[in-house]
């Protein structure tokens, strides 16, 4: 399927650029490249926004740094090994098969490395909101974006104490949040059962009532302004006589620049130009519940299992948790049962389960994305690996890619995201 603009626009194009991957990251990149008068061709084998970007918790964590590496891993390891009902679930056969990735992940769990990850992510997410504001000044998202601080709850004093290390990092990196007691939580969100000890309010955040519509609206605006979309799978990238090509279905197409924004699948294309990255996945789940959406007014998180319940336009969505089990294993029903049980524990009025979903967060062993130009094939750029923060960081990634492609200096430090840091 090809979608072409319905009218001709007289613009002098600067460069012919292919963006591969129409998740939130790829459509934001396409938006900024097009805004700067490039001729942009977007490719995806699926409809835009229907893969990992479809099912997230919908939070624009404008100033946060969320990631799995932690020096507490050594303290938590024994329970991770046995417990199946925690925030993280591990498939041991998968871990053994992918031990080199796990070793790299563990190396990034030292105090100094975790400090560096928190600083790098929060410096980047500091620009997230203003980048989205640029996109949203062209697109009306009034009905699907709500400005509201999100709430994160600790069930017990122990959970609260365990969260202090991460909150300390937030404080150190000027991430705006405040502690909130039981009485205040009750006042803010009266429908939440009083099963918590206390919580945290993350300030200056917003959320979307439809993760899919966010991607779709940015995509539609791109098409209406002359962008091109083809629904097909790109097989490889290569150079011939100094020219850059994409290959698909026995066809080749020449471009000035190519951007790989294929989320967790990005390595497949990187390998065709002899790059390779330690990219893996943190699988996450969501359940959509029927019934009143107005039971809560904001995303409410539950530290113990690492998920949020968010009021979406089609019901209340409980989304999150982490499972390390790769791309091939089927949905783990036990994770879904646990998610449902925990969501009903905090919001007993939840209705019937409408649907469930599993998605693949693209994650590198240091939880930082890969953003930069290929050394193996110049004019190819990478933008993937946004793990828990891909919705939040989509727009700022788009802006950064635009300045890289145009060789412009940017005041945003992307050294930590260097593709060749491993
Ligand atoms: C349960 C859960 C909750 C989350 N909650 C949040 C949240 O509240 N806030 C937040 O900021 N983030 C959240 N995230 C993370 C966020 O959803 C992801 O980081 C983000 O969606 C990644 O976007 P992407 O565009 O990189 O990948 P994707 O959305 O997966 O898009 C990649 C696209 O590339 C395409 N593709 C791959 N290979 C090819 C090829 N060869 N040819 C053509 N197309 C190809 C795929 O079809 C896909 O459409 C959550 C994730 C999960 C799983």
Residue 12 has pLDDT above 70, yes or no: no
Establish whether residue 94 lines the binding site of ligand 1, counting it when its CB lies within 6 angstroms of any ligand atom: no
Confirm whether 125 is domain-assigned.
Answer: no
Residue 254 has pLDDT above 60, yes or no: yes
Confirm whether 255 is domain-assigned.
Answer: yes
Establish whether residue 202 lines the binding site of ligand 1, counting it when its CB lies within 6 angstroms of any ligand atom: no
Confirm whether 137 is domain-assigned.
Answer: no
Residues 48 and 159 in one domain: no
* CA 244 and chain centroid, separation: 29
pLDDT at 293: 83
Q: What does the mean pLDDT of the chain come to?
A: 94
Write the residue with the smallest CA distance to atom 52 of ligand 1. Answer: 56
Structure tokens at 150: 């999100």
Residues 347 and 376 in one domain: no
Confirm whether 142 is domain-assigned.
Answer: no
Q: Rounded mean pLDDT of 85-108?
A: 92
Residue 141 has pLDDT above 90, yes or no: yes
User: Residue 100 maps to which CATH number?
Assistant: 3.30.9.10
Confirm whether 134 is domain-assigned.
Answer: no
Residues 268 and 285 in one domain: no
Q: How far is the CA of 361 from the centre of ligand 1 (A)?
A: 6
Which atom of ligand 1 is the closest one to the Cα of 391? Answer: 11
Which atom of ligand 1 is the closest one to the Cα of 264? Answer: 30
Q: Which residue range forms the structural domain that includes residue 152?
A: 66-110+147-204+279-363
Write the residue with the smallest CA distance to atom 19 of ligand 1. Answer: 390
Structure tokens at 78: 């024994």
Residues 94 and 170 in one domain: yes
Residues 241 and 328 in one domain: no
Cα distances (angstroms) measured from residue 356 to each of 15, 214, 335, 359, 391 = 42, 20, 11, 10, 20
Q: Rounded mean pLDDT of 365-376?
A: 98
Residues 10 and 154 in one domain: no
Distant-in-sequence, close-in-space partners of 251: CB < 8 Å, separation ≥ 6: none
Establish whether residue 295 lines the binding site of ligand 1, counting it when its CB lies within 6 angstroms of any ligand atom: no
pTM, to two decimals: 0.96
More reliable by pLDDT, 45 or 73: 45
Residues 322 and 283 in one domain: yes
Residue 239 has pLDDT above 80, yes or no: yes
Distance CA 213, CA 230 (A): 19
Residues 34 and 21 in one domain: yes
Establish whether residue 52 lines the binding site of ligand 1, counting it when its CB lies within 6 angstroms of any ligand atom: yes
Confirm whether 175 is domain-assigned.
Answer: yes
191-223 burial, b if ≥16 CB within 10 A, otherwise e?
bbeeebbbbbbbeebbbbbbbbbbbbbbbbbbb
Helix 111-125 with 164-172: angle, nearest 10 deg: 50
Least confident of 8-12, 206-210, 248-252, 354-358: 8-12
Structural domain total, the chain: 2
Q: Rounded mean pLDDT of 242-267?
A: 97
Establish whether residue 398 lines the binding site of ligand 1, counting it when its CB lies within 6 angstroms of any ligand atom: no
Establish whether residue 20 lines the binding site of ligand 1, counting it when its CB lies within 6 angstroms of any ligand atom: yes
Query: Which of 263, 302, 356 lies closest to 53, judged by CA?
Result: 263
pLDDT at 106: 94
Residue 156 has pLDDT above 80, yes or no: yes
Distance CA 70, CA 162 (A): 11
Least confident of 15-24, 199-208, 285-294: 285-294
Write the residue with the smallest CA distance to atom 51 of ligand 1. Answer: 56
Write the residue with the smallest CA distance to atom 4 of ligand 1. Answer: 56
Asked if 323 contacts 335 with a C-beta cutoff of 8 angstroms, the reply is: yes
Residues 162 and 78 in one domain: yes
Asked if 18 contacts 43 with a C-beta cutoff of 8 angstroms, the reply is: yes
Residue 80 has pLDDT above 90, yes or no: no
Asked if 267 contacts 21 with a C-beta cutoff of 8 angstroms, the reply is: no
Q: Which of 51, 269, 392, 396 to mutate to test the pocket of ligand 1 (most atoms within 8 A of CB)?
A: 51
Establish whether residue 272 lines the binding site of ligand 1, counting it when its CB lies within 6 angstroms of any ligand atom: no
pLDDT band per the 50, 70, 90 thresholds, residue 396: very high
Confirm whether 291 is domain-assigned.
Answer: yes
Confirm whether 49 is domain-assigned.
Answer: yes
Beta-carbon count within 10 A of 74 CB = 10
Of the candidates 345, 363, 381, which is a domain's last residue? 363
């Amino acid at each position: 399927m090809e979608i072409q603009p319905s009218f001709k626009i007289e613009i002098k194009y600067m460069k012919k650029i292919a963006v591969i991957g129409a998740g939130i990251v790829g459509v934001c990149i396409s938006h900024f490249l097009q805004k700067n008068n490039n001729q942009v061709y977007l490719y995806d084998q699926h409809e835009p926004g229907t893969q990992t970007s479809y099912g997230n918790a919908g939070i624009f964590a404008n100033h946060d740094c969320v990631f799995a590496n932690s020096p507490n891993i050594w303290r938590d390891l024994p329970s991770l090994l046995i417990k199946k009902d925690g925030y993280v679930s591990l498939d041991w056969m998968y871990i053994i098969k992918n031990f080199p990735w796990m070793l790299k992940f563990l190396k990034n769990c030292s105090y100094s490395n975790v400090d560096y990850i928190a600083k790098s992510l929060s410096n980047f997410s500091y620009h997230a909101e203003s980048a989205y504001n640029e996109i949203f000044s062209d697109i009306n998202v009034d009905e699907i974006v709500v400005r509201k601080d999100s709430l994160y709850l600790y069930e017990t004093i122990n959970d609260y104490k365990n969260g202090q290390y991460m909150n300390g990092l937030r404080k150190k990196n000027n991430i705006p949040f405040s502690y909130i007691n039981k009485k205040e939580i009750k006042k803010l969100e009266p429908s939440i059962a009083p099963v918590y000890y206390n919580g945290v309010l993350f300030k200056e955040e917003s959320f979307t009532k439809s993760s899919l519509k966010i991607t779709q609206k940015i995509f539609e605006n791109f098409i209406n302004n002359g962008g091109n979309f083809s629904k097909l799978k790109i097989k490889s990238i290569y150079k011939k006589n100094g020219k850059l090509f994409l290959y698909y279905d026995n066809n080749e197409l020449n471009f000035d620049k190519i951007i790989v924004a294929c989320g967790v699948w990005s390595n497949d294309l990187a390998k065709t130009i002899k790059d390779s990255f330690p990219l893996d996945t943190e699988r996450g789940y969501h359940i959509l519940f029927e019934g009143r959406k107005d039971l809560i007014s904001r995303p409410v998180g539950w530290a113990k299992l690492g998920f949020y319940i968010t009021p979406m336009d089609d019901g209340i969505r409980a989304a999150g948790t982490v499972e390390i089990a790769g791309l091939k294993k089927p949905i783990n029903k036990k994770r879904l049962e646990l998610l449902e049980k925990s969501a009903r524990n905090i919001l007993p009025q939840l209705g019937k389960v409408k649907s469930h979903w599993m998605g693949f967060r693209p994650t590198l062993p240091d939880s930082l994305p890969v953003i930069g130009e290929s050394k193996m094939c110049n004019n190819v750029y990478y933008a993937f690996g946004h793990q828990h923060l891909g919705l939040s960081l989509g727009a700022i990634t788009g802006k950064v890619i635009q300045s890289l492609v145009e060789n412009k200096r940017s005041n945003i430090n992307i050294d930590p995201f260097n593709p060749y840091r491993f």
